[in-house]
Amino acid sequence: MVKQNLLIVHQGALGDFVAIFPAIERLKKHYQTIDVLCQSRLGNLAAKLGLVTKWYPLEAASFASLYTHTADQKIEDLLRSYSQIILFSLSFQLEHSVNRITRNSCLRLPPKPPAGERIHITRYVIKNLINYGLLKQADLDMDHYYLPINPEGKNNPAKDIAKILIHAGSGSARKRWPISNFFVLEKRLRSKGLKPEFLLGPAEEDLMDIISDHGRKLYRLSDLVELITLLQAAGGYVGNDSGASHLAAFMQLPTVVIFGPADPVRWKPNGPLVEVLRPELECSPCFEINPSNCPEPECLDGTTPQKVIEAFFRVYQD
Protein backbone atom coordinates (compact mmCIF):
# COMPACT_ATOMS: atom_id res chain seq x y z
CA MET A 1 0.00 0.00 0.00
CA VAL A 2 1.31 3.43 -0.94
CA LYS A 3 1.72 5.62 2.12
CA GLN A 4 0.95 9.31 2.33
CA ASN A 5 3.46 12.11 2.21
CA LEU A 6 7.11 12.09 3.27
CA LEU A 7 9.38 14.97 4.25
CA ILE A 8 13.14 14.44 4.11
CA VAL A 9 15.31 16.83 6.11
CA HIS A 10 18.94 16.84 4.94
CA GLN A 11 21.59 19.18 6.29
CA GLY A 12 24.54 18.02 4.17
CA ALA A 13 26.38 19.38 1.14
CA LEU A 14 26.05 18.38 -2.52
CA GLY A 15 28.00 15.11 -2.50
CA ASP A 16 26.25 13.76 0.61
CA PHE A 17 22.89 14.80 -0.80
CA VAL A 18 23.37 13.23 -4.25
CA ALA A 19 24.50 10.03 -2.53
CA ILE A 20 20.99 9.59 -1.07
CA PHE A 21 19.24 10.17 -4.43
CA PRO A 22 19.00 6.39 -5.09
CA ALA A 23 17.28 6.03 -1.70
CA ILE A 24 14.81 8.78 -2.63
CA GLU A 25 14.09 7.02 -5.95
CA ARG A 26 13.24 3.87 -4.04
CA LEU A 27 11.12 5.69 -1.46
CA LYS A 28 9.02 7.16 -4.29
CA LYS A 29 7.51 3.70 -4.80
CA HIS A 30 6.07 3.81 -1.28
CA TYR A 31 4.89 7.43 -0.86
CA GLN A 32 2.42 9.54 -2.79
CA THR A 33 4.66 12.58 -2.52
CA ILE A 34 8.18 13.26 -1.26
CA ASP A 35 9.35 16.74 -0.34
CA VAL A 36 12.67 17.87 1.05
CA LEU A 37 13.95 20.49 3.49
CA CYS A 38 17.58 21.26 2.59
CA GLN A 39 19.88 23.95 1.23
CA SER A 40 17.99 25.94 -1.41
CA ARG A 41 20.37 25.09 -4.25
CA LEU A 42 20.08 21.39 -3.42
CA GLY A 43 16.30 21.49 -3.23
CA ASN A 44 16.15 23.20 -6.60
CA LEU A 45 18.42 20.47 -8.00
CA ALA A 46 16.29 17.62 -6.63
CA ALA A 47 13.11 19.18 -8.03
CA LYS A 48 14.71 19.72 -11.44
CA LEU A 49 15.67 16.04 -11.57
CA GLY A 50 12.13 15.01 -10.63
CA LEU A 51 13.17 13.43 -7.35
CA VAL A 52 10.92 15.54 -5.13
CA THR A 53 7.68 17.44 -5.52
CA LYS A 54 8.52 20.45 -3.35
CA TRP A 55 11.48 21.76 -1.43
CA TYR A 56 11.87 24.12 1.51
CA PRO A 57 14.96 26.23 2.31
CA LEU A 58 17.12 25.06 5.18
CA GLU A 59 18.38 28.65 5.49
CA ALA A 60 14.94 29.94 6.56
CA ALA A 61 14.64 31.43 10.01
CA SER A 62 11.67 29.17 10.69
CA PHE A 63 13.93 26.11 10.50
CA ALA A 64 16.55 27.67 12.77
CA SER A 65 13.79 28.14 15.35
CA LEU A 66 13.77 24.36 15.87
CA TYR A 67 16.94 24.86 17.86
CA THR A 68 15.20 27.25 20.26
CA HIS A 69 12.58 26.71 22.97
CA THR A 70 9.76 27.99 20.75
CA ALA A 71 9.54 26.89 17.13
CA ASP A 72 8.14 29.20 14.48
CA GLN A 73 4.47 28.49 13.73
CA LYS A 74 5.28 28.09 10.02
CA ILE A 75 7.67 25.21 10.62
CA GLU A 76 5.26 23.62 13.11
CA ASP A 77 2.44 23.68 10.55
CA LEU A 78 4.78 22.29 7.89
CA LEU A 79 6.01 19.38 10.00
CA ARG A 80 2.50 18.42 11.11
CA SER A 81 1.38 18.15 7.49
CA TYR A 82 3.60 15.10 6.80
CA SER A 83 2.75 11.53 7.76
CA GLN A 84 6.43 10.54 7.81
CA ILE A 85 9.57 12.62 8.44
CA ILE A 86 13.12 11.38 7.92
CA LEU A 87 15.89 13.45 9.49
CA PHE A 88 19.34 12.84 8.03
CA SER A 89 21.04 14.44 10.96
CA LEU A 90 23.29 13.79 13.97
CA SER A 91 21.33 16.27 16.09
CA PHE A 92 19.35 14.82 19.00
CA GLN A 93 18.01 18.31 19.64
CA LEU A 94 16.48 18.48 16.17
CA GLU A 95 14.86 15.08 16.66
CA HIS A 96 13.49 16.14 20.04
CA SER A 97 12.05 19.37 18.61
CA VAL A 98 10.30 17.61 15.73
CA ASN A 99 8.84 14.94 18.02
CA ARG A 100 7.60 17.66 20.36
CA ILE A 101 5.76 19.34 17.48
CA THR A 102 4.18 16.37 15.69
CA ARG A 103 2.85 12.97 16.73
CA ASN A 104 3.43 11.64 13.21
CA SER A 105 6.29 9.25 12.57
CA CYS A 106 9.75 10.84 12.74
CA LEU A 107 12.92 8.85 12.10
CA ARG A 108 16.43 10.24 12.59
CA LEU A 109 19.21 8.53 10.64
CA PRO A 110 22.95 9.26 10.48
CA PRO A 111 23.62 11.00 7.13
CA LYS A 112 26.72 8.85 6.50
CA PRO A 113 28.46 5.82 8.04
CA PRO A 114 30.86 6.35 10.95
CA ALA A 115 34.39 7.25 9.88
CA GLY A 116 36.40 4.11 9.30
CA GLU A 117 33.42 1.89 8.50
CA ARG A 118 34.07 0.70 4.97
CA ILE A 119 30.56 0.68 3.56
CA HIS A 120 29.34 2.88 0.74
CA ILE A 121 27.21 5.80 1.94
CA THR A 122 24.31 4.93 -0.39
CA ARG A 123 24.25 1.30 0.70
CA TYR A 124 24.48 2.40 4.34
CA VAL A 125 21.48 4.73 3.99
CA ILE A 126 19.36 2.16 2.17
CA LYS A 127 20.21 -0.56 4.71
CA ASN A 128 19.08 1.75 7.53
CA LEU A 129 15.81 2.46 5.72
CA ILE A 130 15.29 -1.29 5.28
CA ASN A 131 15.96 -1.89 8.98
CA TYR A 132 13.19 0.58 9.85
CA GLY A 133 10.74 -0.96 7.39
CA LEU A 134 10.67 1.95 4.93
CA LEU A 135 12.34 0.01 2.08
CA LYS A 136 12.61 -3.63 1.00
CA GLN A 137 15.65 -5.92 0.87
CA ALA A 138 15.50 -5.86 -2.94
CA ASP A 139 16.23 -2.12 -2.81
CA LEU A 140 19.88 -2.93 -2.05
CA ASP A 141 20.40 -3.83 -5.73
CA MET A 142 23.70 -2.10 -6.46
CA ASP A 143 23.15 -2.11 -10.24
CA HIS A 144 20.66 0.74 -10.15
CA TYR A 145 22.20 3.45 -8.00
CA TYR A 146 21.80 6.14 -10.63
CA LEU A 147 19.16 8.17 -12.42
CA PRO A 148 16.88 5.68 -14.25
CA ILE A 149 16.13 8.08 -17.10
CA ASN A 150 18.61 10.82 -17.88
CA PRO A 151 16.56 14.04 -18.34
CA GLU A 152 16.58 14.98 -22.03
CA GLY A 153 19.12 12.17 -22.50
CA LYS A 154 20.54 11.45 -25.92
CA ASN A 155 17.72 13.35 -27.60
CA ASN A 156 19.02 16.64 -26.22
CA PRO A 157 19.68 18.80 -29.32
CA ALA A 158 22.42 20.66 -27.43
CA LYS A 159 24.35 17.46 -26.66
CA ASP A 160 27.89 17.38 -28.04
CA ILE A 161 29.49 13.98 -27.49
CA ALA A 162 32.95 15.47 -28.07
CA LYS A 163 32.58 17.98 -25.23
CA ILE A 164 34.38 16.70 -22.12
CA LEU A 165 33.88 18.61 -18.88
CA ILE A 166 36.84 18.87 -16.51
CA HIS A 167 36.24 19.84 -12.89
CA ALA A 168 39.61 20.65 -11.34
CA GLY A 169 38.15 21.87 -8.04
CA SER A 170 36.58 20.24 -5.02
CA GLY A 171 34.83 21.26 -1.82
CA SER A 172 38.13 20.64 -0.06
CA ALA A 173 41.52 21.64 -1.46
CA ARG A 174 42.86 18.44 0.11
CA LYS A 175 41.11 16.40 -2.58
CA ARG A 176 42.50 18.28 -5.58
CA TRP A 177 44.69 16.50 -8.12
CA PRO A 178 47.52 18.90 -9.21
CA ILE A 179 46.19 21.44 -11.68
CA SER A 180 49.19 20.83 -13.94
CA ASN A 181 47.97 17.25 -14.41
CA PHE A 182 44.58 18.49 -15.56
CA PHE A 183 46.32 20.61 -18.20
CA VAL A 184 48.23 17.55 -19.46
CA LEU A 185 44.90 15.70 -19.56
CA GLU A 186 43.34 18.57 -21.50
CA LYS A 187 46.11 18.44 -24.11
CA ARG A 188 45.78 14.66 -24.49
CA LEU A 189 42.02 14.90 -24.96
CA ARG A 190 42.45 17.57 -27.64
CA SER A 191 44.93 15.32 -29.45
CA LYS A 192 42.15 12.72 -29.66
CA GLY A 193 39.80 15.17 -31.36
CA LEU A 194 37.78 15.93 -28.23
CA LYS A 195 36.83 19.32 -26.80
CA PRO A 196 37.74 19.58 -23.11
CA GLU A 197 36.15 22.47 -21.21
CA PHE A 198 36.62 23.42 -17.56
CA LEU A 199 34.05 24.21 -14.91
CA LEU A 200 34.38 25.71 -11.43
CA GLY A 201 31.96 26.21 -8.57
CA PRO A 202 31.59 29.41 -6.54
CA ALA A 203 34.06 28.24 -3.84
CA GLU A 204 36.87 27.47 -6.31
CA GLU A 205 37.72 30.92 -7.65
CA ASP A 206 41.36 30.51 -6.61
CA LEU A 207 41.73 28.32 -9.73
CA MET A 208 39.97 30.73 -12.09
CA ASP A 209 42.93 32.78 -13.34
CA ILE A 210 45.26 29.86 -13.99
CA ILE A 211 42.57 27.90 -15.85
CA SER A 212 41.34 30.80 -17.96
CA ASP A 213 44.88 31.50 -19.25
CA HIS A 214 45.57 30.61 -22.90
CA GLY A 215 41.93 30.93 -23.90
CA ARG A 216 40.62 27.82 -22.14
CA LYS A 217 36.84 27.52 -22.07
CA LEU A 218 35.73 27.92 -18.45
CA TYR A 219 32.24 27.81 -16.96
CA ARG A 220 31.78 29.57 -13.62
CA LEU A 221 28.67 28.03 -12.13
CA SER A 222 26.38 30.06 -9.91
CA ASP A 223 23.75 27.37 -9.37
CA LEU A 224 23.26 23.64 -9.79
CA VAL A 225 20.59 23.86 -12.47
CA GLU A 226 23.31 25.37 -14.68
CA LEU A 227 25.46 22.34 -13.88
CA ILE A 228 22.64 19.96 -14.87
CA THR A 229 22.32 21.76 -18.22
CA LEU A 230 26.07 21.44 -18.85
CA LEU A 231 26.13 17.77 -17.92
CA GLN A 232 23.16 17.00 -20.15
CA ALA A 233 24.96 18.58 -23.12
CA ALA A 234 28.36 16.91 -22.57
CA GLY A 235 29.83 13.60 -23.70
CA GLY A 236 31.98 12.89 -20.67
CA TYR A 237 33.35 14.19 -17.38
CA VAL A 238 36.63 14.04 -15.43
CA GLY A 239 37.03 15.49 -11.96
CA ASN A 240 38.17 15.21 -8.38
CA ASP A 241 36.17 13.63 -5.57
CA SER A 242 33.43 16.26 -5.34
CA GLY A 243 29.69 16.81 -5.37
CA ALA A 244 29.80 17.68 -9.07
CA SER A 245 31.39 14.30 -9.79
CA HIS A 246 28.62 12.54 -7.88
CA LEU A 247 26.04 14.38 -9.95
CA ALA A 248 27.76 13.64 -13.29
CA ALA A 249 27.90 9.92 -12.50
CA PHE A 250 24.31 9.81 -11.23
CA MET A 251 23.15 11.36 -14.51
CA GLN A 252 24.82 8.50 -16.41
CA LEU A 253 27.58 10.62 -17.96
CA PRO A 254 30.82 8.67 -18.65
CA THR A 255 32.74 9.78 -15.56
CA VAL A 256 36.28 9.45 -14.22
CA VAL A 257 36.86 10.50 -10.62
CA ILE A 258 40.32 11.00 -9.11
CA PHE A 259 40.38 10.09 -5.44
CA GLY A 260 43.11 11.00 -2.98
CA PRO A 261 42.76 11.13 0.80
CA ALA A 262 39.09 10.06 0.83
CA ASP A 263 37.98 6.43 0.64
CA PRO A 264 36.27 5.44 -2.64
CA VAL A 265 34.82 2.37 -0.92
CA ARG A 266 32.71 4.84 1.07
CA TRP A 267 32.35 7.66 -1.45
CA LYS A 268 32.54 6.35 -5.02
CA PRO A 269 29.95 8.18 -7.15
CA ASN A 270 26.96 6.07 -8.26
CA GLY A 271 26.57 5.49 -11.98
CA PRO A 272 26.74 2.92 -14.78
CA LEU A 273 29.82 4.46 -16.48
CA VAL A 274 32.16 5.39 -13.64
CA GLU A 275 35.90 4.80 -13.24
CA VAL A 276 37.54 5.67 -9.93
CA LEU A 277 41.30 6.09 -9.65
CA ARG A 278 43.34 5.85 -6.46
CA PRO A 279 46.75 4.15 -6.06
CA GLU A 280 47.03 1.04 -3.94
CA LEU A 281 48.91 2.20 -0.84
CA GLU A 282 49.81 0.81 2.56
CA CYS A 283 48.33 3.83 4.30
CA SER A 284 44.56 4.02 4.73
CA PRO A 285 42.44 6.92 3.41
CA CYS A 286 42.77 9.67 6.02
CA PHE A 287 40.46 12.48 4.92
CA GLU A 288 37.83 11.86 7.60
CA ILE A 289 40.21 11.11 10.46
CA ASN A 290 43.20 13.45 9.94
CA PRO A 291 43.08 17.26 9.73
CA SER A 292 45.56 17.51 6.82
CA ASN A 293 47.22 15.55 4.05
CA CYS A 294 50.76 14.23 4.08
CA PRO A 295 53.43 16.72 2.89
CA GLU A 296 53.71 14.66 -0.32
CA PRO A 297 50.37 12.88 -0.74
CA GLU A 298 51.07 9.73 -2.76
CA CYS A 299 47.33 9.09 -2.91
CA LEU A 300 47.05 12.03 -5.34
CA ASP A 301 50.54 12.11 -6.87
CA GLY A 302 50.43 8.40 -7.72
CA THR A 303 47.67 8.90 -10.30
CA THR A 304 49.20 9.98 -13.61
CA PRO A 305 47.50 11.73 -16.53
CA GLN A 306 48.10 8.59 -18.60
CA LYS A 307 46.13 6.48 -16.11
CA VAL A 308 43.29 9.01 -16.24
CA ILE A 309 43.26 8.97 -20.05
CA GLU A 310 43.14 5.16 -20.09
CA ALA A 311 40.32 5.13 -17.55
CA PHE A 312 38.39 7.73 -19.50
CA PHE A 313 38.42 5.74 -22.73
CA ARG A 314 37.22 2.67 -20.88
CA VAL A 315 33.94 4.45 -20.13
CA TYR A 316 33.66 7.01 -22.93
CA GLN A 317 31.18 6.21 -25.70
CA ASP A 318 31.66 8.22 -28.88
The band of 295, judged by pLDDT with boundaries at 50, 70 and 90, is: confident
pLDDT given at position 90: 95
pLDDT tens-digit readout, 113-128: 999 899 999 999 999 9
Rounded CA-CA distance 278/258 in Å is 7
For the chain, domains (ranges, CATH) are 3-144 (3.40.50.2000), 153-315 (3.40.50.2000)
Amino acid at 115: A
Q: What phi and psi values does residue 230 have, to the nearest 5 degrees?
A: -65, -45
pLDDT given at position 69: 86
pLDDT given at position 213: 84
Which of 145-154, 261-270, 288-297 comes out lowest in average pLDDT? Answer: 145-154
pLDDT at 42 over 70: yes
pLDDT given at position 241: 97
pLDDT tens-digit readout, 152-181: 555 678 899 999 999 999 989 999 999 999
pLDDT given at position 133: 95
pLDDT tens-digit readout, 59-111: 999 999 999 989 999 999 999 999 999 999 999 999 999 999 999 999 999 99
Which of 115-124, 147-156, 290-299 comes out lowest in average pLDDT? Answer: 147-156
